[in-house]
A and B are shown apart, each in its own frame.
Chain A
Amino acid sequence: MQKTLIVVGLIVLLLVPTLTDLAGQPALLSLVTRILIYSIAAASLNFILGYGGMVSFGHAAFFGVGGYVVGILFVHHGSGEPLLGFIPGSNQLLVTLPLAVIVAGAFAGLVGALSLRTSGVQFIMITLAFAQMLYFLFVSLKTYGGEDGIIIRRSNELFGLDMRDKAVMYYVILVVWAGFFVLLWRLIQSSFGTVIKGIRQNERRMAALGFAPYRYKLYAFVLAGAGAGLAGALMANFLRFTSPDMLHWSKSGELMIMVILGGVGSFFGPILGAGAFLVLESFLAGWSEHWPLALGLILLVVVLGTKGGLGGLIGKLAAWATRGRT
């Protein structure tokens, strides 16, 4: 059942550019592209939040770092001047993407190593604090556009493909997206993933079993940061723009909303959540400029009324419907 759904879903995703082209709705294609990108970031947050029980309120920082790696490398590629005097710029996707992942992961290692010494409210706030620090750092860096951010005039190159074509860009992102989720699936099923889930349930028990919780949590935090960095790098390429807005704390909030909308700790939840959030946002924004009001109220209902997000809501509705029938 689940396998058929996945296959059908993949076929639909492959057909999206053709379908939107036929329907004459190019805006829909970019909406789906954004859903793919955000679902990577949301899924990486879900990995530590849902599976690992670490409520990070600064996940947008790693998203932004990924974006800025692409942006900064582009700036130095354009000017020909190496970064810090020895790192040459680049506009090759095969260089920038892995680098964004590595840099975001390394930064997550630093943040995680310090933040994971605390827990609970303090953990939420210290992750937020690191994200805010980075936000203000990029706002104040005039060399890289400050508050205005970096405009990336041309997307990164890949095998001579025409990356300006929205459909080509979509397929590239789709391939990366699929690869990411296959890896994530294997990670969650692996013994490492099991340890992470165990730590969420009972940290002391895992310690007694001989797994040092701090180290495992830190590894998970680094992987999640790297995932968000990947999403950020894709976003910078897709929008051809990076700005401090990518690291703003409300962006961390949005990622959390996506995770919770889709259902915390469920594998397909973040995809569902990112889709629901972005569709809702673009639908409401087209309907009224006061769309955040409706979004706020809907969120309240979802949080207060359901446990387990949209997945839980669908399950509840299904149960209610079958009960109504009998």
Chain B
Amino acid sequence: MILILEQLLNGLQYGVMLFLLAAGLTLIFGIMGVINLAHGSLYMVGAYAGTWVATATGSYWLGLPAALAAAALTGFAIEALVIRRLYARDHLDQVLATFALILTFNQLIILGFGRQPVFTLMPEAFAVSIELLPGLFYPPYRLLIIATGLVVALGLYLLINRTKIGMLVRAGATNRDMVRALGVDIRLLYTIVFGLGALLAGLAGYMAGPISAVQVGMGEQILLATFVVVVVGGVGSIKGAFVAGLMLGIIDTMLRAFLPGLLRHVMPASEADALGIGIASMGIYLLMALVLLVRPKGLFAAGA
């Protein structure tokens, strides 16, 4: 029981992480119609910049603004130099151009920091496990991530549903051309949305650092899962990203934690481990295929 609760919290933490990435990606998808494979690179840039500053200054909290600033600035640069030219192109060109961005960013990071994972700092106040329930010890840093994710979700909800920019974002996700026809400066809106997405990706990357390794390719690993979240949740829907993010985060973590153990009852341990991890890795993709077969536009598609 304790183990299940612990894994549930781990799943929640992973789900929150997926949500932070998926929120930006789904807006970029839904509003600009751009498939941005380089979103994972922003995640990586945030992690590296933040960790670098944190190690240099010795303070985790000083790394945070650095991560956010680096990711946002990189996001603005990508938008101005590359993405802006892709708005009118078909998906194929977008996939290819942003795939090229991944190659470029990965190599730039290798040139700057090498191939080895970078050492990360953990904020001291959150380093020691606390007892949540009798017998359930849990690292508070993960709780911090969950809390941050929920706060961001609330903030986004208010931003999208209560502000003028949010109204334009919603309108843009539903019908881009109509918003443009009404005389809205769509370009500025695009830049804001892209910057916001980059900021959230940087935040997620920096916070993921102490839990998973900060290394080249960290972006691609989580990128595919994020895309699954976006598609399952419905393109352009923050609510969908939130629900699908938490759902898939928990399912993925649970499968990884318990499937090998279950399979060991029916086959030798070494094979059970390999097969269990393999099937667990397939889990979210299988779920996406199932969801798309029932609802081809995802669970909460905007404008559907």
Of A136, A293, A300, the contact of B82 (CB 8 Å cutoff): A300
- Chain A residues near B293 (CB-CB < 8 A): 114, 117
**In whole Å, how far is B20's beta carbon from the nearest beta carbon of chain A?**
20
**In whole Å, how far is B99's beta carbon from the nearest beta carbon of chain A?**
5
Of B82, B275, B298, the contact of A122 (CB 8 Å cutoff): B298
Interface size on B, residues (CB 8 A): 47
Which one of B271, B282, B297 has the highest number of Cβ atoms from chain A below 10 Å of its Cβ? B282
Of B91, B282, B289, the contact of A124 (CB 8 Å cutoff): B91
- Chain B residues near A256 (CB-CB < 8 A): 92, 95-96, 99
What string of 1s and 0s marks CB contacts (under 8 Å) between B266-304 and chain A?
000011001111110110011011001100111000000
- Quick one: given A249-B224, A293-B108, are A121 and B231 in contact (CB under 8 Å)? yes
Spot the interface stretch: A68-76, A126-134, A235-243.
A126-134
* Complex Cα spacing A118 to B301, Å: 14
* Complex Cα spacing A142 to B271, Å: 7
- Quick one: given A117-B296, A118-B296, A290-B110, are A132 and B285 in contact (CB under 8 Å)? yes
- Chain A residues near B101 (CB-CB < 8 A): 296, 300
- Chain A residues near B92 (CB-CB < 8 A): 49, 55, 256, 260, 264
- Chain B residues near A141 (CB-CB < 8 A): 274-275, 278
| A303 touching B96, Cβ below 8 Å | yes
* CB of B162 within 8 Å of the partner chain: no
* Complex Cα spacing A126 to B285, Å: 8
* Complex Cα spacing A292 to B275, Å: 33
Of B93, B108, B270, B289, the contact of A114 (CB 8 Å cutoff): B289
| B82 touching A304, Cβ below 8 Å | yes
**In whole Å, how far is B158's beta carbon from the nearest beta carbon of chain A?**
28
- Chain A residues near B215 (CB-CB < 8 A): none
What string of 1s and 0s marks CB contacts (under 8 Å) between A82-116 and chain B?
00000000000000000000000000000000100
- Chain B residues near A139 (CB-CB < 8 A): 274, 278, 281
* Complex Cα spacing A114 to B111, Å: 43
* CB of A297 within 8 Å of the partner chain: yes
Of B96, B102, B228, B270, the contact of A129 (CB 8 Å cutoff): B228
| B103 touching A292, Cβ below 8 Å | yes
| Residue of chain B at shortest CB distance from A249 | B224
* CB of A168 within 8 Å of the partner chain: no
**In whole Å, how far is A248's beta carbon from the nearest beta carbon of chain B?**
10
What string of 1s and 0s marks CB contacts (under 8 Å) between A247-259 and chain B?
0010001001100
| B285 touching A299, Cβ below 8 Å | no
* Complex Cα spacing A49 to B96, Å: 13
What string of 1s and 0s marks CB contacts (under 8 Å) between B25-37 and chain A?
0000100000100
* Complex Cα spacing A132 to B270, Å: 22
Name A's interface SS.
helix
Interface residues of B in 207-246 (CB under 8 A from A): 224, 227-228, 231, 235
* CB of B74 within 8 Å of the partner chain: no
| A290 touching B107, Cβ below 8 Å | yes
What string of 1s and 0s marks CB contacts (under 8 Å) between B81-109 and chain A?
01001100011110111011111101110
- Quick one: given A146-B274, A249-B224, are A121 and B35 in contact (CB under 8 Å)? yes
Of A49, A136, A253, the contact of B278 (CB 8 Å cutoff): A136
A/B pair count, beta carbons within 8 Å: 132
* Complex Cα spacing A47 to B86, Å: 24
Of B99, B103, B278, the contact of A140 (CB 8 Å cutoff): B278
Of A125, A264, A290, A295, the contact of B227 (CB 8 Å cutoff): A125
**In whole Å, how far is A43's beta carbon from the nearest beta carbon of chain B?**
16
| A140 touching B292, Cβ below 8 Å | no
Of A257, A292, A297, the contact of B96 (CB 8 Å cutoff): A257
Interface residues of A in 46-71 (CB under 8 A from B): 49, 55, 57
| Residue of chain B at shortest CB distance from A139 | B278
| Residue of chain A at shortest CB distance from B111 | A290
* CB of A179 within 8 Å of the partner chain: no
What string of 1s and 0s marks CB contacts (under 8 Å) between A295-322 and chain B?
1110110011000000000000000000
**In whole Å, how far is A209's beta carbon from the nearest beta carbon of chain B?**
24
What string of 1s and 0s marks CB contacts (under 8 Å) between A278-294 and chain B?
00000000000010110
- Chain A residues near B100 (CB-CB < 8 A): 295-297, 299-300, 303
The 9 closest A-B pairs by CB, nearest first: A140-B278, A296-B103, A293-B107, A296-B104, A299-B100, A129-B285, A136-B281, A292-B103, A133-B282
| 7 A-B interface contacts by CB (under 8 A) | A120-B91, A124-B95, A136-B278, A137-B278, A260-B96, A292-B104, A292-B107
Chain B interfacial positions (CB closer than 8 Å to A): 29, 35, 82, 85-86, 90-93, 95-97, 99-104, 106-108, 110-111, 224, 227-228, 231, 235, 270-271, 274-279, 281-282, 285-286, 288-289, 292-293, 296-298
Chain A interfacial positions (CB closer than 8 Å to B): 49, 55, 57, 114, 117-122, 124-126, 128-130, 132-133, 136-137, 139-142, 146, 249, 253, 256-257, 260, 264, 290, 292-293, 295-297, 299-300, 303-304
